[in-house]
Structure 1
Amino acid sequence: MKAVVHAVRAGFEGLAVRDMEELKPGFGEVRVKLKTAGLNHRDLFVLVRHKPTDPPLIIGSDGAGVVDGVGEGVVGVKVGDEVLINPSLGWKEKSDAPPAGFEILGLPFHGTFAEQVVVPADNVVLKPGYLSWEEAGVLSLAALTAYRALFTQGQVHEGMKVLIPGIGSGVATLLLQFAKAAGATVYVTSRSSEKCAKALELGADQAFDSNEDWEQALNGEKMDLVIECVGAATFNKSLKQLRPGGTIVTFGASAGDVVEFNLRDFFYGQYKLFGSTLGSGEEYKEMLEFVTRHEIKPVVDRMYSLEEFGAAFERMEKAEQLGKIGFYIG
């Protein structure tokens, strides 16, 4: 089968479309013939974490397709089912943190940038009918990340004021839609006027340039909750916009992962800081029920063929995308 594989050389130079052996589902597993897949920032990090001396790896965490093989012991999933893939492996119930053994599809196990993928049967869920294949293939990782950060960790509810810096990413655009569906007032930032305009189309109450004075742009308005997915470049700006007793949730560090902040200001402000990473199978099902109830769709930026992976990775690395980048496969 055709797949985007990382091998032999470090970084992007190690990526190539190759023929790989067809996969067979084992006990409790299913095989999915993929129709679409989604690119994530995680895939960029995998190119660093996966070493040239490691066995060749099919990368990719997001995907959707049709079940075409079922292993022994599988109940409730059959050949022909149209499914989404939950990339969170080994984390079934909602908990304070993932259990030992938790992994994300695409490292260390073969991922979704291929014609087929094998996953535990628990990690496939029937595709909501209102989603196109393009939307279904890019949803899972971003939506699960957004759901846990916003609802489990951030405890968002109606009437809250929520700030989302860096609105261009797939996760951020879903955070915006989720928060609005929950009844929050949502403020976003971006250096791109195009991305700010799109955010307003998606329902943001205010969108402003990340390079502006945030306090001035917000007219002194303080936030109940900030979801930080940018990193060191915006963390302290975000912290300054919190009301006393407010909450900041962080799950991204694409713009730097080392932050200094004033502890005295932090504890006098009675702020709450939570980390978040992906989510559990329980949260995945809650997320799907939520998006289906509100008919929320991911913003699809561009779709590429697997052979065009270079252009897709370059677009993400330059942060040119607005929403999710995806691949057509089958």
Structure 2
Amino acid sequence: MRAVYATSLAPDDPLAGLEIGDVPDTEAPAKGWEKITLKASALNHHDLFSLKGVLDKEDLPMVLGCDGAGVDAAGNEVIIHPVVASPGWRGDETLDPERTVLSERYPGTMADHVWVPVGSTVPKPVELSWEEAACLPTSWLTAYKMLFSISPAAPGSTILIQGAGGGVSTALISLASASGFRVWVTSRSQEKRFHALTLGAEQAFDSGARLPNRVDAVFDSVGQATWAHSLKALRPGGAVITCGATSGSTAATDLNRLFFTQLKILGSTMGTRDELERLTRFLVGTGIRPTIDTVLPLGEAIKGFTKMLEGNLIGKIVFIH
């Protein structure tokens, strides 16, 4: 089958280990898994991190991709929930310390077919295209959980979203503005700031800029480069919700500010299958759709990886299978 896969790991040159070609058809890794024929997949920073060395060398070669939508053996159109809990786990799968996601221990979605545990898909609404559906399982699901399950801020609150161009950020802008939040964003790019306003943001600022007022919550997927600004931007009692660290995971925290102004730091990772299904219903009900930067055939995936590595994108990069 055709696949996009990692053959080697290189922190300084991640695309050196990226290959596109034919690989042997995979088999079910365990009883109770089903085969999905992919129609579309989407690119995430997770895929670049895998190539940089997050993967274990002994797991190579590994088919990449967490996001995907396709057709199951019964002909149902489905969206894949990529979080794989350990056998016997009950409850929120994102809290399982032994959890993994597709493309880590098990082959991912950038292929003609993928095996997933039975029960880990949700129906694809007919209102969503294959390209739109493929955007949801990672960045959009992450944004949905951050906003509606983790953050204490309610609609009507003022929130700040750090970074205006990535998949999580554009999802947060769309979801929050559609839900009645007052949305502010930051970005170094004038183009990305302008696009954030078209998605519903009220104001857009240069990265690190002094804000007119402090905010109720900050959503930070950037990490090291924005962390100090995120904490300074909060009103007393406010919360920063973090889901990633694309600029680096080591950041100093002003503990005096943290305890004296009673700030909250909340971590969030991915989302549950049930949250993914609710997300699809939210999109159908509101009419909002993922921002898609580029759509490419699977065979041209290297172009998409290159664009993400350069940071030259707004929204998602999608591959058609």
Counterpart of 2:16 in structure 1 is 13
CA deviation string 1:125-174 (max 9, x = no partner): 11012111111112211111111111211133221111001010011111
Counterpart of 2:280 in structure 1 is 288
Counting only pairs closer than 5 Å after superposition, residues 154-233 of structure 1 correspond to structure 2 as 154-210=151-207, 214-215=209-210, 218-219=211-212, 221-233=213-225
Between the aligned partners of 2:97 and 2:47, the Cα distance in structure 1 is 22
Counting only pairs closer than 5 Å after superposition, residues 96-115 of structure 1 correspond to structure 2 as 98-115=95-112
Q: Does 1:31 align with 2:35?
A: yes
Counterpart of 1:323 in structure 2 is 315
Local SS of the residue matching 1:325: strand
Q: Does 1:85 align with 2:80?
A: yes
Local SS of the residue matching 2:119: helix
Instruction: Tell me the TM-score normalized by structure 2.
Output: 0.92
The correspondence for 1:151, drawn from 148, 151, 158, is 148
The answer on whether the counterparts of 1:225 and 1:246 sit within 8 Å (CA) in structure 2 is: yes
Q: Does 1:66 align with 2:66?
A: no
The answer on whether the counterparts of 1:8 and 1:53 sit within 8 Å (CA) in structure 2 is: no
Local SS of the residue matching 2:59: coil
Amino acid at match of 1:61: C
Say how many residue pairs are matched. Answer: 313
The answer on whether the counterparts of 1:138 and 1:324 sit within 8 Å (CA) in structure 2 is: yes
The answer on whether the counterparts of 2:173 and 2:200 sit within 8 Å (CA) in structure 1 is: yes
Counterpart of 1:2 in structure 2 is 2
The correspondence for 1:246, drawn from 235, 238, 259, is 238
CA deviation string 1:74-95 (max 9, x = no partner): xxxxx11011111111176348
Q: CA deviation at 1:36?
A: 0.7
Between the aligned partners of 1:49 and 1:232, the Cα distance in structure 2 is 18
Counterpart of 1:312 in structure 2 is 304
The answer on whether the counterparts of 1:230 and 1:253 sit within 8 Å (CA) in structure 2 is: yes
Amino acid at match of 1:274: L
Q: CA deviation at 1:290?
A: 2.3
Q: CA deviation at 1:120?
A: 1.1
Amino acid at match of 1:180: S
The answer on whether the counterparts of 1:188 and 1:208 sit within 8 Å (CA) in structure 2 is: yes
Local SS of the residue matching 2:248: coil
The answer on whether the counterparts of 2:216 and 2:235 sit within 8 Å (CA) in structure 1 is: yes
Amino acid at match of 1:85: I
Q: CA deviation at 1:52?
A: 4.0
CA deviation string 1:57-114 (max 9, x = no partner): 11110011111x3xxxxxxxxx11011111111176348x611321111111100110
The answer on whether the counterparts of 2:186 and 2:193 sit within 8 Å (CA) in structure 1 is: yes
The answer on whether the counterparts of 2:215 and 2:235 sit within 8 Å (CA) in structure 1 is: yes
TM-aligned CA distance change 1:92 to 1:223, over 3 Å: farther
Amino acid at match of 1:273: I
Between the aligned partners of 2:242 and 2:215, the Cα distance in structure 1 is 15
Amino acid at match of 1:109: Y
TM-aligned CA distance change 1:24 to 1:108, over 3 Å: closer
Q: CA deviation at 1:8?
A: 4.7
User: How much identity, in percent, do the aligned residues show?
Assistant: 40
Structure 2 residue runs of 5 or longer lacking an equivalent are none
Local SS of the residue matching 1:284: helix
Say what the alpha-carbon RMSD is for the aligned residues.
1.7
The answer on whether the counterparts of 1:6 and 1:15 sit within 8 Å (CA) in structure 2 is: yes
Between the aligned partners of 1:9 and 1:179, the Cα distance in structure 2 is 37
Q: CA deviation at 1:9?
A: 5.6
The answer on whether the counterparts of 1:98 and 1:280 sit within 8 Å (CA) in structure 2 is: no
The answer on whether the counterparts of 2:121 and 2:273 sit within 8 Å (CA) in structure 1 is: no
Between the aligned partners of 1:156 and 1:327, the Cα distance in structure 2 is 35
Q: CA deviation at 1:281?
A: 2.1
CA deviation string 1:223-280 (max 9, x = no partner): 0010011111111111111000001011111112111121111101010111111122
Structure 1 residue runs of 5 or longer lacking an equivalent are 70-78
Q: CA deviation at 1:35?
A: 1.0
Amino acid at match of 1:93: G
